[in-house]
Amino acid sequence: MKNLKIKIMIMVLIPMLGLLYFSIIEVIDKVNHLSEMNQSEGMTKLAINTNDVIHELQKERGLVSGYLSKKKQSFRII
Protein backbone atom coordinates (compact mmCIF):
# COMPACT_ATOMS: atom_id res chain seq x y z
CA MET A 1 0.00 0.00 0.00
CA LYS A 2 2.85 2.37 0.86
CA ASN A 3 4.60 1.52 -2.40
CA LEU A 4 1.42 2.44 -4.32
CA LYS A 5 1.22 5.85 -2.64
CA ILE A 6 4.81 6.61 -3.62
CA LYS A 7 4.17 5.59 -7.24
CA ILE A 8 1.05 7.77 -7.42
CA MET A 9 2.91 10.71 -5.89
CA ILE A 10 5.72 10.33 -8.42
CA MET A 11 3.19 10.09 -11.28
CA VAL A 12 1.58 13.34 -10.15
CA LEU A 13 4.75 15.12 -9.06
CA ILE A 14 6.69 14.78 -12.33
CA PRO A 15 4.04 16.47 -14.51
CA MET A 16 3.50 19.13 -11.83
CA LEU A 17 7.23 19.92 -11.80
CA GLY A 18 7.20 20.14 -15.60
CA LEU A 19 4.23 22.49 -15.47
CA LEU A 20 5.94 24.60 -12.81
CA TYR A 21 9.14 24.79 -14.89
CA PHE A 22 7.37 25.92 -18.05
CA SER A 23 5.22 28.38 -16.10
CA ILE A 24 8.30 30.00 -14.58
CA ILE A 25 9.95 30.20 -18.01
CA GLU A 26 6.82 31.89 -19.42
CA VAL A 27 6.61 34.38 -16.53
CA ILE A 28 10.28 35.32 -16.96
CA ASP A 29 9.69 35.81 -20.69
CA LYS A 30 6.68 38.06 -20.01
CA VAL A 31 8.65 40.15 -17.50
CA ASN A 32 11.48 40.61 -20.03
CA HIS A 33 8.98 41.57 -22.73
CA LEU A 34 7.36 44.12 -20.40
CA SER A 35 10.76 45.61 -19.64
CA GLU A 36 11.52 45.96 -23.35
CA MET A 37 8.12 47.58 -23.94
CA ASN A 38 8.75 50.13 -21.17
CA GLN A 39 12.13 50.96 -22.67
CA SER A 40 10.56 51.35 -26.12
CA GLU A 41 7.92 53.66 -24.68
CA GLY A 42 10.60 55.87 -23.15
CA MET A 43 12.53 56.00 -26.41
CA THR A 44 9.35 56.87 -28.31
CA LYS A 45 8.59 59.75 -25.95
CA LEU A 46 12.15 60.99 -26.35
CA ALA A 47 11.84 60.86 -30.15
CA ILE A 48 8.57 62.82 -30.06
CA ASN A 49 10.05 65.50 -27.80
CA THR A 50 13.17 65.72 -29.96
CA ASN A 51 11.00 66.09 -33.05
CA ASP A 52 9.10 68.95 -31.39
CA VAL A 53 12.34 70.75 -30.53
CA ILE A 54 13.67 70.30 -34.06
CA HIS A 55 10.43 71.65 -35.51
CA GLU A 56 10.60 74.75 -33.31
CA LEU A 57 14.24 75.32 -34.30
CA GLN A 58 13.32 75.05 -37.98
CA LYS A 59 10.52 77.59 -37.54
CA GLU A 60 12.95 79.95 -35.82
CA ARG A 61 15.50 79.46 -38.59
CA GLY A 62 12.83 80.36 -41.14
CA LEU A 63 11.93 83.51 -39.25
CA VAL A 64 15.56 84.59 -39.00
CA SER A 65 16.11 83.84 -42.68
CA GLY A 66 13.08 85.94 -43.61
CA TYR A 67 14.20 88.75 -41.36
CA LEU A 68 17.71 88.80 -42.80
CA SER A 69 16.53 88.52 -46.42
CA LYS A 70 14.23 91.52 -46.03
CA LYS A 71 17.11 93.46 -44.50
CA LYS A 72 14.94 94.55 -41.63
CA GLN A 73 12.45 96.25 -43.98
CA SER A 74 8.75 95.57 -43.52
CA PHE A 75 9.25 92.12 -42.03
CA ARG A 76 6.25 90.83 -40.12
CA ILE A 77 5.36 87.57 -38.48
CA ILE A 78 2.21 85.99 -39.78
> What share of the chain in percent tops pLDDT 90?
65
Residue pair 75/66 in contact (Cβ under 8 Å)? The answer is yes
Q: What is the pLDDT of residue 12?
A: 92
**Residue 76: left if φ>0, alpha if ψ -120 to 50, beta else—which one?**
beta
Residue 10 clears pLDDT 80, i.e. is over it: yes
Residue pair 63/77 in contact (Cβ under 8 Å)? The answer is yes
Question: Could you report the per-residue pLDDT of 57-69, keeping only the tens digit for each?
Answer: 999 998 888 888 8
In sequence order, the 6+-apart residues with CB closer than 8 A to the CB of 61 are: none
